[in-house]
């Protein structure tokens, strides 16, 4: 298995000089920048005073944010194509390959023809199939990592499918998906929360303070930034942020690399993805959490790095 | 290493070029309202017509306006469902939303109307979604439930207070002791609002939709009476409002929006629940979504590129490119440095 994976990685590195690890890091950086700057910080501009210097700063950030957004979209397509290819080549899973490549092809098609009617329904069904196949890929030990984010994406997809089918009273699906999304960092990061450190509570505290001072503004920024409506008790979101902090800090120590990448991509993609790039980020996050022949172990990023690079 | 650097630079350069030329890489997951072409007259007065079922519906989420005071943070209308049809001369938009009460009277000061609005930007790049911004106006079509009711029978103070008594109207003829109708006035100049074509004083409603223009909070202005060209029809049934906006695809006014087949337009919605005291800025509003006429996408992003052509504009075009180039080089340097970090188990 490792030989096959190494062959794939070496092939890519040999031909284009890039490793999937590097693409993944580029994707995470671009996606997180787009999320934090374009979708969060710049949208908070409506609450800020606007002297000329602030306006200039926002204009610069807008340009950089647009670049990050385009880069994330481009690299996400490349990364997903590579993932699809590895499913075909290493796992001999043509179904997954076809599902992912069809998703990519349809998303590009929708740049020219807006999704509506049958095409939109087919797209949502393809997403459902891809998610189902990814869950099937998870092992007995890792399903708990995968289940929550996969179910969140699944509920959001079903909700959007229900809109296409013109069904009413499906807001429960949306709310259920948000519940899974909010709990996902806790299920992914429960093993990294101990030993508990005081700084892990800081993001939760910051969220709590902001929410207490101005719940309306916090709610608006949260929905613009992550797609979450904050309908659950705020303690859930605060705890979730603590677990995210724990995962990211542990990743610096090399212990939670895949989980950190997955959580960052999940947050950058947001809940109930509104554009194809956000959906791809969610799928790539799931792939990082799903050990298979495509990702040899849960510490895949570092295992890529530690193997010798071809000349 | 050289191959890796070159590949990385290629990816970043491609992304930079795509950004500069506004080439999108992400497609909508379904918040595009696709207006279907319809042969024949649009069902402008029938929200239950079968024709509406032949076009796709999009549910647009709304949230309370919470930037400018006064505001109501717990507004009632959480989403609207939108469909659209067009033929060779007109565009129709059907907006539906749940509302347990029908509030179509605004005679008493404590009563507020149900309403819904559709907003389009008048510039290529969509401005701030809530009423536009300075230098970037928006046009608004504001349907009002009380105006809809007025079309059937104009309501006035005597509608709400049937036993009211008026002393005397010196400039009116007739012996009526209740409110005098405008037609009873000997000289309409004694009804200055009506004489100046104030829409709110209009004795007869020709449309339940007011056509307005705005360029930021506090600038909302009604267009002239001659520019009130948006027709509407609204009906409340089984705790749901259904409102149809209809207008010609093109208009004569230079500062109003015209529509063309195959093009995509940003559009936003707002709704008011009168029973909740919602009025003016106290409303539920959406962000920009897209309205596309027809299923085929328009021409390339080049048409919509906002590149200035004047010499001083070259600076404005060059400045973002310089920033992008600087950003690309910075990013490349960062990634190079990160890749040099020692790996850890």
What is the structure's pLDDT at B339?
57
B 44-73 residues inside an 8 A Cβ radius of A: 56-59, 63-64, 66-67, 73
Distance CA A284, CA A276 (A): 12
Q: Could you report the per-residue pLDDT of A60-76, keeping only the tens digit for each?
A: 888 888 899 999 999 99
What is the number of helices (H) and of strands (E) in chain B? 5, 14
Asked if omega into B70 is within 30° of 0 (cis), the reply is yes
B 225-264 residues inside an 8 A Cβ radius of A: 264
Task: Name the residue among A99, A85, A155 with its Cα closest to residue A130.
Answer: A99
What is the structure's pLDDT at B257?
92
ipTM: 0.71
Residue partners of B140: CB distance under 8 A and separation at least 6:
B117, B118, B119, B120, B211, B212, B213, B214, B220
Q: Which residue of A has its CA nearest to B127?
A: A46
B 130-149 residues inside an 8 A Cβ radius of A: 130
Q: Do B27 and A78 touch (CB under 8 A)?
A: no
Q: Do B290 and A114 touch (CB under 8 A)?
A: yes
Residue B155 near residue B164 (C-beta atoms within 8 A) = no
Please say if the pLDDT value at position B304 is more than 50.
Answer: no
What is the structure's pLDDT at A251?
76
Chain A nearest C-alpha distance from B293 (Å) = 10
- Using CB atoms, which residue from A75, A107, A299 is nearest to B27? A107
What is the structure's pLDDT at B305?
35
Least confident segment among A300-304, B3-7, B157-161, B205-209: A300-304
Q: How many CA atoms lie within 13 A of A139 on its CB side?
A: 11
B 100-129 residues inside an 8 A Cβ radius of A: 128
Residue partners of A48: CB distance under 8 A and separation at least 6:
A54
Please say if the pLDDT value at position B259 is more than 90.
Answer: yes
Compute φ and ψ for B9, nearest 5 degrees.
-65, -35
Q: Do B14 and A29 touch (CB under 8 A)?
A: no
Residue A72 near residue A103 (C-beta atoms within 8 A) = no
Q: How many CA atoms lie within 13 A of B189 on its CB side?
A: 0
Confidence bin at B238 (pLDDT 50/70/90) = very high
Distance CA B323, CA B303 (A): 23
Measured in residues, chain A has a length of: 311
Please say if the pLDDT value at position B272 is more than 50.
Answer: yes
Quickly count: other Cβ atoms within 10 Å of residue B1's Cβ: 10
Got the DSSP string for B91-135?
EEEEEEEE-SS------STT----EEEEEEESSSS---TTT-BTT
Q: Which residues of chain A have pLDDT under 70?
A: 1-18, 44-50, 116, 139-141, 166, 168-169, 252-256, 291-311
- Beta-ladder partners of B95: B82, B243
Residue partners of B277: CB distance under 8 A and separation at least 6:
B72, B112
Identify the residue among A59, A116, A178, A304 best suited for mutation to test binding to B, counting B beta carbons within 10 A and taking the highest.
A116
What is the structure's pLDDT at B34?
86
Q: Which residues of B touch A273 (CB under 8 A)?
A: 29
- Using CB atoms, which residue from A25, A71, A113 is nearest to B338? A25
End-to-end CA distance of chain B: 23
Least confident segment among B9-18, B108-117, B123-132, B277-286: B123-132
More confident residue, A12 or B274: B274
Chain B nearest C-alpha distance from A141 (Å) = 21
Distance CA B338, CA B119 (A): 46
Strand, coil or helix: B209? strand
Distance CA A58, CA B86 (A): 38
Identify the residue among A71, A125, A163, A306 best suited for mutation to test binding to B, counting B beta carbons within 10 A and taking the highest.
A71
More confident residue, B182 or B33: B33
């Amino acid at each position: 298995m490792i030989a096959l994976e190494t062959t794939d990685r070496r092939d890519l590195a040999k031909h284009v000089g890039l490793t999937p690890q590097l693409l993944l890091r580029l994707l995470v950086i671009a996606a997180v920048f787009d999320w934090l700057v374009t979708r969060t910080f710049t949208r908070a501009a409506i609450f800020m005073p606007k002297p000329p210097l602030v306006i200039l700063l926002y204009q610069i950030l807008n340009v950089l944010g647009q670049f990050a957004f385009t880069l994330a979209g481009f690299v996400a397509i490349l990364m997903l194509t590579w993932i699809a290819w590895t499913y075909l080549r290493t796992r001999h899973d043509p179904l997954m390959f076809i599902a992912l490549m069809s998703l990519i092809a349809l998303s590009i098609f929708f740049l020219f023809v807006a999704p509506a009617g049958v095409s939109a329904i087919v797209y949502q069904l393809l997403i459902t199939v891809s998610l189902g196949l990814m869950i099937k890929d998870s092992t007995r030990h890792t399903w708990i990592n995968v289940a929550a984010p996969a179910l969140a994406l699944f509920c959001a997809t079903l909700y959007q499918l229900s809109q296409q089918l013109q069904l009413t009273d499906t807001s429960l699906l949306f709310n259920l998906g948000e519940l899974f999304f909010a709990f996902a960092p806790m299920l992914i990061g429960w093993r990294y929360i101990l030993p508990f450190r005081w700084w892990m509570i800081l993001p939760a505290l910051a969220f709590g303070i902001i929410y207490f001072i101005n719940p309306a503004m916090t709610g608006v920024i949260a929905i613009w930034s992550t797609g979450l409506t904050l309908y659950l008790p705020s303690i859930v979101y605060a705890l979730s942020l603590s677990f995210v902090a724990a995962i990211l800090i542990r990743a610096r120590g090399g212990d939670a690399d895949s989980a950190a990448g997955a959580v960052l991509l999940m947050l950058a993609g947001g809940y109930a993805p509104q554009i194809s790039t956000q959906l791809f980020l969610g799928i790539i996050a799931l792939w990082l959490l799903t050990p298979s022949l495509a990702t040899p172990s849960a510490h895949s990023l570092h295992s890529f790095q530690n193997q010798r690079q071809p000349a | 290493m050289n191959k890796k650097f070159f590949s990385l630079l290629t990816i970043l350069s491609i992304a930079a070029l795509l950004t500069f030329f506004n080439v999108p890489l992400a497609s909508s997951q379904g918040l595009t309202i696709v207006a279907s072409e319809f042969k024949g007259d649009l069902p402008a007065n029938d929200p239950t017509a079968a024709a509406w079922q032949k076009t796709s519906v999009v549910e647009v989420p709304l949230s309370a306006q919470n930037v400018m005071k006064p505001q109501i943070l717990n507004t009632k209308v959480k989403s609207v469902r939108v469909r659209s049809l067009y033929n060779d001369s007109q565009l129709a938009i059907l907006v539906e939303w749940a509302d347990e009460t029908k509030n179509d009277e605004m005679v008493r000061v404590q009563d507020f109307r149900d309403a819904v609005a559709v907003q389009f930007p008048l510039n290529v790049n969509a401005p701030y979604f809530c009423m536009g911004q300075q230098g970037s106006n928006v046009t608004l079509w504001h349907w009002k439930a009380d105006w809809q009711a007025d079309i059937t029978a104009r309501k006035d103070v005597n509608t709400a207070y049937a036993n009211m008594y008026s002393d005397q109207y010196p400039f009116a003829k007739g012996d009526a002791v209740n409110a005098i109708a405008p037609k009873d006035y000997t000289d309409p100049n004694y009804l200055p609002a009506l004489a100046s074509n104030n829409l709110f004083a209009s004795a007869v409603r020709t449309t339940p939709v007011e056509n307005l223009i705005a360029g930021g909070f506090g600038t909302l202005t009604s267009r002239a009476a001659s520019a009130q060209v948006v027709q509407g029809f609204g009906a409340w049934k089984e705790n749901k409002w259904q409102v149809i906006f209809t207008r010609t695809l093109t208009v004569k006014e230079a500062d109003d929006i015209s529509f063309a087949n195959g093009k995509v337009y940003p559009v936003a919605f707002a709704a008011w629940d009168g029973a909740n005291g919602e009025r003016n800025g106290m409303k539920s509003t959406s962000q920009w979504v897209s309205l596309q006429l027809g299923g085929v996408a328009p021409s390339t992003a080049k048409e919509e590129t906002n590149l200035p052509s004047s010499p001083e504009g070259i600076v404005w075009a060059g400045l973002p490119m310089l920033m992008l180039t600087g950003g690309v080089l910075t990013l490349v340097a960062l990634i190079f440095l990160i890749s040099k970090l020692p790996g850890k188990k």
